[in-house]
């Protein structure tokens, strides 16, 4: 439910948040009345602060006379600046003299540069299998009990999986699976219902069905083996920011940055949302991230989304600057890929 605020309350809330982002110090009514010309008495500002606290937009830490933003307050603020946002000058230079084979290097350098500009953790995801469609499938019998599945996607990504089978592999069955899956899956996204239907067709015989089931995991949505497609820059900057703020869950956060699975899942969510993807504090499910905010934007070519550019930092971040920088970087990466692809 959207809470109704007066124009003055919106102004007070925005000022408190921007002052807190800049200083990290709880903001009180005396500071506001002395530094800003609201045209009202300090007692009126105190009342507005109290009402904003009652609405859940601000919190009153310890015995301090000042207030700090809550996740709800940040969300109100961010929704407002997203509406106001203007085009930003790219702050991160995308290297444009690279060959196609060096795209990963460009993505990694983009993550490092974005982290330096924002002084936060930057994450750039490489083109993911689930956001591309299948271009070609090979099924190769390597040994009597060993089969390899190779999937080539329209984003140029090649994945392979090797499976051990209990029974010896029938060469004719492997060839049938290759022809059948190319007929049914070329042009289809992995992890979709249409892809699953190819393995569940009632027209399949028992032997064909069993063989396809054995190799089916190669065609499921992204799994843990795909986390190498994430390029991280500035993990130490994020940890330093959170440590100075006395944030807990740092051990869990380190585990997540090492294993990356939850982070990959978050960015998969970002791929399904138009415009800037932004989650604040408790809007992020993993407890280790609930002192953080995530800002992400998609990049791609020819109306096809390929990956995301994102920044993860404490909830007390400069949202205006970070949102503009992330969006401009994603736009620059899209232009770079259009040139080489």
Same-domain status, 216 and 231: no
Predicted pLDDT at 225: 39
Residue 309: pLDDT over 70: yes
Nearest residue to 292 via CA among 278, 312, 265, 310:
312
| Long-range pairs of 5-10 with CB within 8 A, sequence gap ≥ 24 | 5/52, 5/55, 5/76, 8/38, 8/40, 8/48, 9/48, 9/51, 9/52, 10/80
45-85: pLDDT as tens digits: 999 999 999 999 999 887 667 899 999 999 999 999 888 76
| Structural domain of 209 | 134-221
Whether residue 1 lies inside any domain: the answer is: no
CA distances from 55 to 177, 183, 187, 231 (A): 60, 57, 50, 39
Please give the model's pTM, rounded to 2 decimal places.
Answer: 0.69
Structural domain total, the chain: 3
Whether residue 241 lies inside any domain: the answer is: yes
Same-domain status, 183 and 63: no
191, 221, 251 - which closes a domain: 221
In this prediction, residue 247 has a pLDDT band, given cuts at 50, 70 and 90, of low
What is the Cα–Cα distance from 324 to 309, expressed in whole angstroms?
12
Region of residue 19 (left: phi > 0; alpha: psi -120 to 50; beta: else)? alpha
Region of residue 284 (left: phi > 0; alpha: psi -120 to 50; beta: else)? beta
């Amino acid at each position: 439910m959207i809470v109704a605020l007066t124009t003055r309350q919106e102004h007070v809330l925005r000022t408190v948040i921007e002052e807190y982002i800049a200083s990290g110090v709880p903001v009180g009514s005396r500071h506001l009345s002395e530094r800003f010309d609201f045209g009202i008495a300090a007692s009126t500002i105190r009342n507005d602060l109290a009402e904003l606290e009652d609405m859940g937009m601000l919190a009153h830490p310890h015995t301090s006379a000042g207030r700090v933003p809550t996740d709800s307050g940040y969300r109100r603020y961010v929704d407002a600046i997203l509406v106001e946002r203007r085009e930003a000058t790219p702050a991160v230079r995308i290297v444009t003299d690279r060959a196609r084979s060096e795209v990963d290097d460009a993505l990694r350098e983009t993550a490092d540069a974005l982290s330096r500009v924002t002084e936060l953790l930057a994450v750039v995801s490489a083109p993911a299998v689930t956001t591309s469609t299948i271009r070609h499938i090979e099924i190769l019998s390597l040994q009597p009990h060993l089969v390899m599945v190779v999937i080539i996607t329209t984003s140029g990504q090649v994945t392979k999986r090797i499976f051990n089978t209990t029974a010896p592999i029938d060469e004719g069955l492997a060839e049938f699976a290759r022809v059948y899956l190319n007929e049914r899956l070329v042009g289809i996204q992995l992890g979709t219902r249409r892809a699953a239907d190819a393995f569940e067709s009632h027209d399949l015989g028992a032997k064909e069905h069993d063989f396809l089931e054995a190799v089916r995991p190669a065609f499921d949505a992204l799994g843990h083996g795909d986390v190498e497609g994430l390029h991280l820059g500035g993990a130490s900057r994020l940890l330093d920011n959170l440590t100075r703020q006395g944030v807990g869950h740092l051990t869990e956060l380190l585990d997540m940055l090492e294993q990356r699975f939850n982070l990959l899942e978050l960015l998969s969510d970002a791929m399904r949302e138009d415009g800037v993807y932004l989650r604040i504090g408790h809007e992020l499910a993993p407890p280790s991230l609930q002192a953080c905010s995530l800002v992400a934007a998609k990049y791609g070519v020819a109306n096809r989304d390929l990956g995301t550019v994102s920044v993860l930092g404490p909830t007390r971040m400069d949202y205006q600057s970070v949102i503009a920088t992330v969006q401009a970087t994603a736009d620059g990466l899209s232009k770079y890929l259009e040139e080489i692809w």
